[in-house]
Amino acid sequence: MGSIKTLSTARLTLRSPRHGDEDALFALHSDPQVMRYFSEPPWTDPERARRQIDDDAAGFERGDFFRFALVLKETGQMIGNCTLFAVHRQNRRAEIGYALQRQHWGKGYMIEALTALVNHAFNDLDLNRLEADIDPRNDPSRVCLERLGFVSEGYMRERWIVGGEVCDSELFGLLRREWQARATG
């Protein structure tokens, strides 16, 4: 199931991470504003990017973790990533995560990328359910998920402690049948 390594949209190529992405990946994950609502603090060690790329490539090979680099077709520049993780084959579900460089916020890139990721999850990987866990204060993320059809399903108090800050979680879910109904509706 890990054989598909490239997805394409009108403006983006979603591909497996590779060496050469280190600088862009570190820039993304070391930005405090990008990492504001993540479950880990901003990266401080540039070597972390190389290790992450190795781990991500291995996840693609195993078929259980898919962190796609988001690459602008026009420039070839990596501008973010989106991830399908915690893949649970027996129950045909997984979680999604995503990050985008600040200068590209508000341009519709993440909706475009996540539409391709969700299609891949439901159509190619035959999953039945996708989940997302966001900080309830992250309004842009909530808007993005709701535009894709995700539904808020619960609130978990004080679920994460990031950089000493205690944070809540809001859980979202999307079912395959709901996604397909939107596509045909």
**Alpha-carbon span 160 to 85, nearest angstrom:** 18
The pLDDT value given to residue 1: 43
Percent of the chain residues past pLDDT 90, beyond the cut? 83
Q: What is the dihedral of CA 96, 102, 103, 105, to 10 degrees?
A: 50
The pLDDT value given to residue 4: 61
The pLDDT value given to residue 37: 87
- Edge-first strand listing for the sheet containing 151-162: 6-8, 12-15, 66-72, 78-88, 93-100, 129-134, 165-175, 151-162
Q: Which residue has the tokens 């204060």?
A: 137
Mean pLDDT value of segment 58-79: 94
Query: Is 80 exceeded by the pLDDT of residue 168?
Result: yes
pLDDT tens-digit readout, 139-159: 999 999 999 999 999 999 999
Structure tokens at 1: 């199931």
- The domains of the chain, with CATH numbers, are 6-184 (3.40.630.30)
The pLDDT value given to residue 153: 98
